[in-house]
Structure 1
Amino acid sequence: MSENQRLDADVIVVGAGPVGLTIANTLGLHGISVMLLEKGDALIDYPRAVGMDDECLRSIQGIGLVEQVQQHLTPYHWMRFVNASGRVYASIEPRTDEFGWSRRNAFNQPAVDVELLNGLKRFPNASVFLSSELESFEQDKDGVTLKIKQAGSPKTLRCRYLVGADGGRSVVRTQLGVGFGGFTDTSQWLVVDIRNDPLGVPYIYMHSDPKRPYVSVALPDGVRRFEFMVWEGETEEQITAPARMAELLGKVLPPGTDINKLDFIRKRVYTHNARIADRWKVGRVMLSGDAAHIMPVWQGQGYNTGMRDATNLAWKLAYVVKGLASDTLLETYNIERPPHAKAMIDLSVAAGRIFYPRNVFKAAFRDVSTWLLNQIPAVKRYFSEMRYKPMPFYSEGLVVHEKTPRKNSPVGRLFIQPRVRTQAGEVKLLDDVIGTGFALLAWGADPNYWLTPRSKAILAAMNARILTVKPVVQMQRRVDVSDATEVIGDEQLRLKDWFGEHPGSIALIRPDRFVAGIAFPVEINELLEAVAGKMGLNLDAARRPASTTLQEAA
């Protein structure tokens, strides 16, 4: 065996933040050997991101860690925007659970990161190396060779694929020579995190006072976050001095509060950036999370957008490493994710401009216009239910759109996750029934009746479950389905509604729960053939026994 064939891991991920940890857990779940490198000697132990959405929590569910993570969340965590006079001019209170979870959750990031790290202990094929700093790498047609410094000592590693999840100052992105276009906001903000919350009130309050905008955030475990705008000419040393801190906090805490009794976790000034990488895949190297994009905090979407990257990329890496799909599948990551990340950046920038207008006249205009808009119920619902949030939509990539384009097509969008009833009588969230692969999900039809032998081979290679959904009261009747088809019950009648809104009764759902295509039973073989072509599916590899060691795989 040559040096180029000797692998330390199929995939090496640089950066043990939430994105790197999620990618590693997903690969571990798929049986792929993965090595996670982190230059720090421990995970970051102070709060950073504070908001987790339903899509993100669904991703954590997908790697089997949602029960561990939920204890660190506050679900249904509203965000209220308050003007200088104390009036709430907008309140974001989404109560929907179409993806199975609360749409807005406050969370304790250090505690969640630890759960993700501990989750890797489940997999003998996953390893984590702290104090391991990437110095350089080179890629060739067979893999990537890394030069790292591990606990101060040089070391060489080799893998098939490299993922840079190493933050906004990504070494991987820099060495790839990939541009990171966008802008840095001229404003700065002071973040103050305090244990033993001195206020205790729930929710997030965005105080839009032009004299000094500030944010007050309730977090789990009795942590309170304040964020204060830093004016031009103020330095970090000045604004964090005890006298200035007492002045700032004196305006947001009850009169007479003893500032000296506050248990500070950290005080830090930071700048908002809005940047996105020109390319997210170069050969065998991919960028993910903050290495691919960074955005202002105003919609709490930096963390969540990175987790969407991880969920999109990791299963594709697993299929390619196993030889089930070609590099064509990995290219779809570079096609699908950047447009949505850019949309989230634009939303965050716009929200910031509404929250802290630079003069009193703009603030007055905002206050009057929002008061008027709040009198219109449809407009108020639009904002309170977060309908303005751009949902991921893949117009290109691993999707097969209907022959007749439709404005509200479900193809390329995230599938819903209602509760369903199994044959054993258990009520579960849909993803827990589907598993880690694809799903061919039908309403009112038995897919197996229509499938050709080739289509069945395609589904087997995809690791797909074939399921028919019925009303719960019909679950035990099998006259219309074969033994090869799994029947589940529509516990909440949401699947019936979903199929009733779209032309087609069979949906092909990807491992990341996006709809790859929808068809009527008579069209299903054509759909499967098209999806197999787009992912470069290898039916021969699917028939071979899986390799059990890195050396056998090489």
Structure 2
Amino acid sequence: MEGGTTQVLIVGAGAAGLTLGIDLARRGVSFRLVEKLPEPFHGSRGKGIQPRSQEIFEDLGVLDRLVAIGGEYPPQREYRADGSYQESFVVEPVAPTPDEPYHIPLLVPQFLTERVLRERLAELGGAVEYGVELLGFEQDADGVTARLATAEGEETVRARLLVGTDGGRSFVRRSLVIAFPGRTLAVRAVVADVTLTGVGRDAWHRWNEGDMARQMSLCPLPGTAMFQVQAPVPLEGDVDVSAEGLTRMIQERTGRSDIVVQSVSWGSAYSMNARLADRYRNGRIFLAGDAAHTHPPTGGQGLNTSVQDAYNLGWKIAAVLGGAPPDLLDTYEEERRPVAAQMLGLATRLLDAAKEGIIRRGREVHQLDIGYPGSRLAVEAPERSGGILAGDRAPDASLTGAAGQPVRLFQLLTGPHWTLVGYETARDAGPAAAKGVRVVRIGADGDLRDDAGHFAAAYGLKRGSWMLIRPDGYVGAIVEAGEMDALDSYRNDVGLGARAVRRQ
């Protein structure tokens, strides 16, 4: 059966696939998002949303919904053998600042995060096709031909590009024979979503920290009446994840007969791995999310890294399909694979610390310091030695509109466009407006005023400078007055139209 054509076929409807679908939908790119499971995943495996991902979700229009159903991490309550306990923060509370509005990870069960993403996708006209399995594919110079198994039988679909977001056991990756080196971390754990009695929802309850044979964790899941059970288990043998089996495990490890599991919504025993695909691209086919990297759960890096893969890839796909130079897509792997390697190292170090009973999280897990300073998409003219650098995350700033209303810089960045910022530039100077680029001028004569000095403090730009911020919220180019040719060349390299004509 012929299934027609689409611009992009996305295989796998987890957080990465959904994020990519949302980003393509708001850019007007046609796609199909298929998932071989018959229904959405209903477990809480990934439950932390880091500050950088919160900024992304603000741009995609879902952050407030996630905050409404989620919550902050509760204090961790570590019990001693005599039943007494001490409490501490998993994440040290830090107040937001004008340049970093989100400083504390959110706690949201994965199935609720993905439900919110599906709702947003539906608002943009997209949907997941469940019960549709990728059987095989072939690519040529013009596109990819994929075979799908559906409830109606086998279907053939033609796409310009294919993106595998189909998890750690990715069919797409294995079909491409892309190596997935790494290591098994000699830790196996059970994770389950349960309803239970015996403990309150005011803390993340922990027992026997540092004892990998008896460790036990019960974390309340916001937006639900459930707790997440986490516990290391032997590397071999069956694990009983029924209500009765989990009750026995909890009572044996805690010494508390009053904690009783009443029902299990979802449960699994899994071995922790740290693996990274050798390549993220083969011709017209890409890997993203767990298909490209798998992490231990420590530090909450896996889901967040996956979301940011998709956020990096989406605008580049749309640009190339719209006529930008094809080698723009090469920058996806160049930028994102080193980040995954860095996050794998971090998660592994945090796992080693957890084995010793140390459960603390600091700025290193927030992903706010991730950037692409060595990318070919990071241009400075002249080279800068201070302030914000090309390739850095673009900070937020509190500004005042010329009409007198407060404006956050992030509000101006929200949407699928590029943002060109002129700092203390003359009204009649600078590049002309172009499709896909929002132009704002900050300064005494600009559209926006930096009354509180937040923008100047965050960016450190010289008077007369222009800065081009990418659609994914990273600084692409910074040029000073007299270096406008460098900005013109950059715009052409990323597909922002013909060489800009400056105002006369």
Which TM class, normalised by the smaller chain length?
0.7 to 0.9
Q: CA deviation at 1:426?
A: 4.5
Whether the aligned pair in 2 keeps the contact of 1:166 and 1:172 (CA below 8 Å) is yes
1:392 to 370, 378, 390: 370
User: Is 1:466 matched up with 2:439?
Assistant: yes
AA partner of residue 469 (structure 2): I
Pairing of 1:69-468 with structure 2 (within 5 A): 69-75=66-72, 77=73, 91-97=90-96, 98-124=99-125, 126-151=126-151, 153-195=153-195, 198-202=199-203, 208-210=209-211, 211-220=213-222, 221-237=224-240, 242=244, 245-249=247-251, 251-252=253-254, 255-257=256-258, 259=260, 262-323=262-323, 325-357=324-356, 384-386=362-364, 391-394=369-372, 395-401=374-380, 403-404=382-383, 406=385, 409-423=388-402, 425-434=404-413, 435-446=415-426, 449-451=428-430, 455-456=431-432, 460-461=434-435, 463-468=436-441
Aligned-partner Cα distance in 1 for 2:452–2:12: 40
Question: Which SS does the other structure have where 2:336 is aligned?
Answer: helix
Whether the aligned pair in 2 keeps the contact of 1:136 and 1:146 (CA below 8 Å) is yes
Aligned-partner Cα distance in 1 for 2:364–2:205: 15
Q: CA deviation at 1:318?
A: 1.1
2:22 to 19, 22, 25: 25
Q: CA deviation at 1:161?
A: 1.0
Q: CA deviation at 1:344?
A: 0.3
User: Is 1:532 matched up with 2:491?
Assistant: yes
Question: Which SS does the other structure have where 1:92 is aligned?
Answer: coil
Q: CA deviation at 1:121?
A: 2.3
Whether the aligned pair in 1 keeps the contact of 2:162 and 2:285 (CA below 8 Å) is yes
Which consecutive residues of structure 2, in runs of 5 or more, have no partner in the other structure? 500-504
Whether the aligned pair in 2 keeps the contact of 1:81 and 1:91 (CA below 8 Å) is no
Question: Which residue is 1:519 aligned to?
Answer: 479
What's the RMSD between the two structures over aligned residues?
3.3
Q: CA deviation at 1:240?
A: 5.8
Deviations 1:247-301 (A, max 9, x none): 4245448x441515x3322332111110111111111111111111110110001
The TM-score normalised by the length of structure 2 is: 0.87
Question: Which residue is 1:549 aligned to?
Answer: none
Q: CA deviation at 1:129?
A: 1.7
Aligned-partner Cα distance in 1 for 2:39–2:365: 38
Question: Which residue is 2:502 aligned to?
Answer: none
Aligned-partner Cα distance in 2 for 1:291–1:504: 44
Question: Which SS does the other structure have where 1:417 is aligned?
Answer: coil
Whether the aligned pair in 1 keeps the contact of 2:328 and 2:494 (CA below 8 Å) is yes
Identity, % of aligned pairs? 26
CA gap 1:431/1:528 in 2 versus in 1, 3 angstroms? same
By percentage of residues, which structure has more helix? 1
Aligned-partner Cα distance in 1 for 2:80–2:376: 46
CA gap 1:283/1:495 in 2 versus in 1, 3 angstroms? same
The TM-score normalised by the length of structure 1 is: 0.79
Deviations 1:364-395 (A, max 9, x none): xx8xxx9xxxxxxxxx9xx6444896832211
Q: CA deviation at 1:145?
A: 0.8
Whether the aligned pair in 1 keeps the contact of 2:191 and 2:267 (CA below 8 Å) is yes
AA partner of residue 370 (structure 2): P
Whether the aligned pair in 1 keeps the contact of 2:194 and 2:264 (CA below 8 Å) is yes
Whether the aligned pair in 2 keeps the contact of 1:418 and 1:492 (CA below 8 Å) is no
Q: CA deviation at 1:416?
A: 1.1
Aligned-partner Cα distance in 2 for 1:490–1:408: 16
Aligned-partner Cα distance in 2 for 1:249–1:256: 6
Relative to structure 2, which stretch is displaced further, 282-291 or 399-408?
Answer: 399-408
CA gap 1:231/1:129 in 2 versus in 1, 3 angstroms? closer
Relative to structure 2, which stretch is displaced further, 86-95 or 510-519?
Answer: 86-95
Whether the aligned pair in 2 keeps the contact of 1:190 and 1:270 (CA below 8 Å) is yes
Aligned-partner Cα distance in 1 for 2:325–2:488: 15
Which consecutive residues of structure 1, in runs of 5 or more, have no partner in the other structure? 358-362, 371-379, 475-479, 482-486, 541-554
AA partner of residue 108 (structure 1): P
Q: CA deviation at 1:36?
A: 0.8
AA partner of residue 348 (structure 1): A
Question: Which SS does the other structure have where 2:181 is aligned?
Answer: strand
Question: Which SS does the other structure have where 1:57 is aligned?
Answer: helix
AA partner of residue 532 (structure 1): R
Question: Which SS does the other structure have where 1:49 is aligned?
Answer: coil
Number of residue equivalences: 490
Question: Which SS does the other structure have where 1:310 is aligned?
Answer: helix
Q: CA deviation at 1:133?
A: 0.4
Relative to structure 2, which stretch is displaced further, 497-506 or 52-61?
Answer: 497-506
Question: Which SS does the other structure have where 1:517 is aligned?
Answer: strand
